[in-house]
């Protein structure tokens, strides 16, 4: 039998069936599925923009929002009719927005289009989502019930965890998210590293740690997009992504609530770790929406190892 025929006759597990079989709570699985569908609308918007980040004209010649704002509008407008979301917090908004009646179960956080400045290069970009049950002003470990990200690359993929492992789906030609890898598990130690920030801005301790990785034979893999860079660590089953404290910005660059908490949840569910150098990312309380944090995230060995280099005194 030809391979092509085989592809179509294989039994495919779609996202909804997978979540049902995995015993994900009914409302949560409906919400995750709805967000995955929104990823299709966002990808259409990216396509329509013809690789321009700034406002663009659609086929009718109408001015459109910037891509990030457009993705944010899609999420906000769709989520308000989901029936499951009371509040929405986004990297594109200044405050948490009440979008439901108030008695819905979940709060959704979004980085609607992370890495959007890469859109003109045609590198992958992504959407990062956290789903919380209580106030987001807490430790992620207390509030997150699920997280997912969508990559818009040569393929559109969706990785989610609802606290029962980490799973990857690919959007097929029929518009279904089909399971491509279930229960992804990171090796204890990987062979790639993805270091954010500029060399000249790194602290001496961080520099020594990076030298340790280089001298140990780790290969450099950095695209400038958090979603594809983390996705690479996950799909290659190990390695490290870091955006450290910099000399002039001790809190680094990435946002705790919108970027780091969801990715840490997903990576921990795949057996990996995430730390700010001292505490697990999911144990760092969120006190303000735009809060940033240094991060070391990936397989166990690399994340634990950084603690040998950083000094607690520097942090206090």
Q: Residues interacting with ligand AFP, by CB under 6 A?
A: 114-118, 196, 224-226, 229, 243, 253-254
Pick between residue 30 and residue 253 the one whose CB is nearest to ligand AFP: 253
Distance CA 259, CA 9 (A): 38
Strands (E), 153-299: 156-161, 167-171, 177-181, 192-195, 219-220, 240-243, 273-275, 295-298
Q: Which of 263, 257, 260, 266 is nearest to 294 (CA)?
A: 260
Pick between residue 87 and residue 229 the one whose CB is nearest to ligand AFP: 229
Minimum distance of ligand AFP from residue 236's CB (angstroms): 17
Minimum distance of ligand AFP from residue 266's CB (angstroms): 15
Pick between residue 209 and residue 226 the one whose CB is nearest to ligand AFP: 226
Partners of 150 in beta bridges = 127, 158
Pick between residue 116 and residue 127 the one whose CB is nearest to ligand AFP: 116
Partners of 107 in beta bridges = 87, 132
- Listed in sequence order, the DSSP H helices in the chain are 3-9, 15-21, 26-49, 67-79, 140-143, 204-215, 226-235, 261-269, 300-305, 312-315
**What DSSP line would sit under 77-94, residue for residue?**
HHHTTSSSEEEEEETTSS
Minimum distance of ligand AFP from residue 243's CB (angstroms): 6
Which residues have CB under 8 Å from 314's CB, separation 6+? 203, 205
Minimum distance of ligand AFP from residue 125's CB (angstroms): 8
Pick between residue 196 and residue 238 the one whose CB is nearest to ligand AFP: 196
Pick between residue 232 and residue 299 the one whose CB is nearest to ligand AFP: 232
Place of tokens 């997903």: 266
Minimum distance of ligand AFP from residue 179's CB (angstroms): 26
Minimum distance of ligand AFP from residue 121's CB (angstroms): 10
State the helix-helix crossing angle for 67-79 and 26-49, rounded to 10 degrees: 150
Pick between residue 116 and residue 161 the one whose CB is nearest to ligand AFP: 116
Minimum distance of ligand AFP from residue 28's CB (angstroms): 26
Q: How far is CA 223 from CA 119, 171, 241, in A?
A: 12, 22, 11
């Amino acid at each position: 039998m030809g391979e092509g025929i085989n592809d179509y006759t294989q039994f495919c597990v779609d996202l909804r069936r997978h979540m049902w079989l995995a015993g994900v709570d009914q409302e949560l699985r409906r919400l995750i599925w709805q967000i995955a569908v929104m990823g299709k609308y966002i990808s259409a918007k990216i396509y329509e923009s013809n690789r321009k980040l700034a406002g663009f004209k659609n086929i009718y010649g109408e001015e459109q929002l910037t891509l990030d704002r457009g993705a944010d509008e899609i999420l906000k407008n769709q989520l308000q009719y989901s029936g499951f979301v009371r509040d929405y917090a986004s990297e594109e908004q200044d405050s948490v927005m009440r979008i439901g009646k108030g008695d819905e179960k979940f709060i959704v956080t979004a980085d609607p289009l992370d890495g959007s400045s890469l859109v003109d290069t045609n590198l992958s970009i992504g959407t990062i989502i956290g789903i919380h049950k209580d106030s987001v002003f807490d430790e992620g470990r207390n509030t997150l019930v699920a997280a997912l990200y969508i990559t818009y690359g040569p393929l559109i993929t969706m990785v989610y965890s609802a606290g029962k492992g980490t799973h990857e789906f690919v959007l097929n030609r029929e518009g279904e998210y089909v399971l491509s890898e279930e229960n992804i598990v990171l090796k204890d130690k990987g062979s790639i590293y993805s270091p954010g920030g500029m060399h000249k801005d790194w602290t001496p301790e961080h520099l020594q740690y990076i030298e340790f990785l280089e001298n140990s034979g780790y290969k450099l893999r950095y695209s400038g997009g958090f979603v594809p860079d983390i996705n690479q660590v996950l799909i290659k089953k190990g390695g490290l992504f870091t955006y450290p404290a910099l000399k002039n910005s001790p809190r680094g660059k990435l946002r705790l609530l919108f970027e780091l908490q969801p990715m840490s949840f997903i990576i921990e569910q795949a057996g990996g770790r995430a730390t700010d150098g001292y505490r697990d990312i999911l144990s760092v309380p969120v006190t303000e929406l735009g809060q940033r944090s240094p991060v070391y995230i990936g397989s166990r060995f690399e994340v634990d190892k950084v603690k040998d280099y950083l000094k607690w005194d520097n942090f206090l």
